[in-house]
Amino acid sequence: MKRLPRETELKFALPPDHVLALAGQIPALTGSEPKPLVSVYFDTPKQSLRRAGLTLRVRTEDGRFVQTLKQTAAGALSRGEWSDDIQSPAPAPDLLGHTPARACLAKGPALAPQFEIETRRRSAEIIEAGSRIEVSLDEGEAKADGKAAPFAELELELKEGPLWGLLALARKLAQLDELSLSFTSKAERGFALARPSRLRAQKFQAPELNRTAPTGDAFRAVARACLRQIVGNAEALRERASPEVIHQLRVGLRRLRSLVTTFKDVISDARLPALKAELKWLTGELDAARNLDVLLHGGYRVALGDKQAPDGLKGLGARLRGARRISYARAASAAESERSRRLLLDLLIWIEEGPWTQAAEGAPVRDQPIPKFARKALNKRFRKIVRRGGDVAALDPAARHKLRIDAKKLRYAADAFAGLYDHPKRTRAFIAALKVVQDELGELNDIAVGEGLAHDAATSAGLGAGDAAFAAGRIAGARKSEMESLLGKAQDALDALAKARPFWPS
């Protein structure tokens, strides 16, 4: 079988005003003059290519026109790439008949320009650990509808040799400047400018798992998708904090931590404990911001809506918002810290080439087909929830919180493994029932967490102690009155999940 043409690349983002300094620190690029590149990206009116995970561009370089079709990397370092020299700056659809774009263009929808990327590129080749790598330092702008967005990035493309050489060079260069691992392609920058979304946060996109793939390969695929969610939201957080960006960054971190637990028999090695500790640290740096968001939009808002709300409640709200601003700054600082940047690169290297990939003791589980492993993992998590969720009212807040975490872990595993089984309706129904459990247990947990946050804010300096304590009590009381109803809803949701038919074979 003919191998598909592929591009293997790793990318870092950096501040645009750091480009010259970085070029001076990479000997191969010292003194190099930037070469202008102009790329126009095309799609159909309904963006058929983009929806299929494809991008099409025509690049003008030294008087040549090169048409390139690329697949979305989805966090992986390697993706399909098809390039052809063409005669003009207009795309040549007839050259795409042997590519995945054929189905998108089968009915002949017209290709139209979407946006333009102007780049000034410095490039050179470096040999590292037996690998030949093209290093490209780009600064440029995405342009669309009269708007422009500057960017700068360092690309490392493996031309020949083992992947380890690419990763070794990445680790070496990452020490030179404020380089942040990035999976944001130039095409994504252009689409974000041409068709901006109100939601800047990046959600998890489950990879398509091959049912015959070894379990180790499946872990890599899902871990890459988790890392893409984490990296994308960390990048967004560095630009501007928002409740949804912080939430999705926490979700990505928790999803990856849960995945590590699910695959512990496959991936345990000497590097894992340190990585787990760093993941826990970064998650913890975001907790206060998320908890205060939930409190201000939940218990505080409910209490404030009461016409009999005490005057001290507004003062407490101001202090809660002040605490949230501080927690947002803390979250952003963590995301842009050298510690965080180092963690994300270390995670990528460990996912791709960590000791676990070659450990003899993990080989029997690592090499078995993923459906067998997934079935066992899903059964174990499902049975644990059914066993613990028989009487949620009898559980104290800490036990309910553990049950909620169990539900999250099952949800993350279900999201990852859903595509392995041919029961789409059953899958959707099961995950929907599981989501209700998460939501109801989440409401109960928000009350417990919110009570502590309100109390801490009330007893800190500023507002009169008596008024503040009374106001904090009103916040806690506003939600506690719902406890009986919420416990009933949570039990109903757990009972419904226990009766749900699993989408995997028992």
**String of DSSP letters for 300-320:** HHHHHTSTT--THHHHHHHHH
Token pair listed for 15: 């501040």
Backbone angles phi, psi at 66, to 5 degrees: -120, 120
Banded pLDDT at 255 (limits 50, 70, 90): very high
**pLDDT tens per residue across span 359-411:** 998 899 999 999 999 999 999 999 999 999 999 999 998 999 999 999 999 99
Write down the residue that tokens 């749900």 correspond to: 500
Write down the residue that tokens 């507002």 correspond to: 463
Checking if the pLDDT of 149 tops 60, the result is: yes
The residue among 443 and 12 whose pLDDT is bigger is: 12
Backbone angles phi, psi at 236, to 5 degrees: -65, -40
* Closest-CA residue to 300 (of 471, 153, 466, 430): 471
Q: Which of 273-282, 297-306, 364-373, 439-448 has the lowest mean pLDDT?
A: 297-306
Calculate the alpha carbon distances from 179 to 18, 32, 223, 302, 501 in Å. Answer: 10, 20, 21, 43, 47
Distance of CA 284 to the CA centre of its chain: 17
Contacts of 396 by beta carbon, 8 Å cutoff, 6+ apart: none
Instruction: Give pLDDT, residue 254.
Output: 96
Instruction: Give pLDDT, residue 464.
Output: 52
Mean pLDDT of 467-476: 66
Banded pLDDT at 430 (limits 50, 70, 90): very high
Half-sphere exposure of 122 (CA within 13 A, CB side): 21
**pLDDT tens per residue across span 293-318:** 888 887 788 777 776 555 667 777 78
What DSSP assignment string belongs to 156-182? Answer: EEEEES-HHHHHHHHHHHTTSS--EE-
Instruction: Give pLDDT, residue 1.
Output: 34
Cα gap 39→49, rounded to integer Å? 17
Cα gap 303→292, rounded to integer Å? 15
Banded pLDDT at 73 (limits 50, 70, 90): low
Instruction: Give pLDDT, residue 311.
Output: 64
CATH topology of domain 380-506: CHAD domain (1.40.20)
Checking if the pLDDT of 261 tops 50, the result is: yes
Distance of CA 497 to the CA centre of its chain: 27
Checking if the pLDDT of 3 tops 70, the result is: no
Q: Which of 16-30, 194-208, 374-388, 415-429 has the lowest mean pLDDT?
A: 194-208
Could you give the 3-state DSSP secondary structure of residue 118? strand
| Cα 126-157-359 angle, rounded to 5 deg | 95
Checking if the pLDDT of 415 tops 90, the result is: yes
Contacts of 51 by beta carbon, 8 Å cutoff, 6+ apart: none
Backbone angles phi, psi at 45, to 5 degrees: -55, -30
Mean pLDDT of 117-125: 97
Mean pLDDT of 52-75: 90
Checking if the pLDDT of 228 tops 80, the result is: yes
Instruction: Give pLDDT, residue 467.
Output: 58
- Mean pLDDT is highest, among 74-78, 92-96, 288-292, for 92-96
Instruction: Give pLDDT, residue 2.
Output: 41
Q: What is the pTM of this model?
A: 0.92
Q: Domain boundaries in the chain? A: 6-196, 203-369, 380-506
- Mean pLDDT taken over the chain: 90
Write down the residue that tokens 């010292």 correspond to: 30
Mean pLDDT of 36-49: 94
| Cα 313-319-322 angle, rounded to 5 deg | 145
Checking if the pLDDT of 463 tops 60, the result is: no
Cα gap 250→252, rounded to integer Å? 5
Could you give the 3-state DSSP secondary structure of residue 282? helix
Instruction: Give pLDDT, residue 312.
Output: 65
What DSSP assignment string belongs to 50-112? Answer: HHTTEEEEEEEETTEEEEEEEE--TT-SEEEEEEEEESSSS--GGGGTTSTHHHHTTT-PPPE
Q: Which architecture characterizes domain 203-369 according to CATH?
A: Alpha solenoid (1.40)
Asked whether this chain's domains 203-369 and 380-506 adopt the same fold, the reply is: yes
Token pair listed for 439: 């939501």
Mean pLDDT of 248-267: 96
Domain spanning 6-196: CATH superfamily: Hypothetical Protein Pfu-838710-001 (2.40.320.10)
Beta bridge partners of 59: 39, 66
- Cite the DSSP H helix spans in 115-271: 163-173, 186-194, 215-239, 243-262, 264-267
Instruction: Give pLDDT, residue 27.
Output: 94
C-beta neighbour count of 372 within 10 angstroms: 11
Could you give the 3-state DSSP secondary structure of residue 138? strand
Instruction: Give pLDDT, residue 461.
Output: 36
CA dihedral 221, 224, 228, 229 (to 10 degrees): 70
Cα gap 82→283, rounded to integer Å? 39
Checking if the pLDDT of 197 tops 90, the result is: no
Checking if the pLDDT of 466 tops 70, the result is: no
Backbone angles phi, psi at 136, to 5 degrees: -125, 125
Residue 471 and residue 310 in contact, taking contact as beta carbons nearer than 8 Å: yes
Could you give the 3-state DSSP secondary structure of residue 235? helix
Checking if the pLDDT of 421 tops 50, the result is: yes
Token pair listed for 141: 């702008």
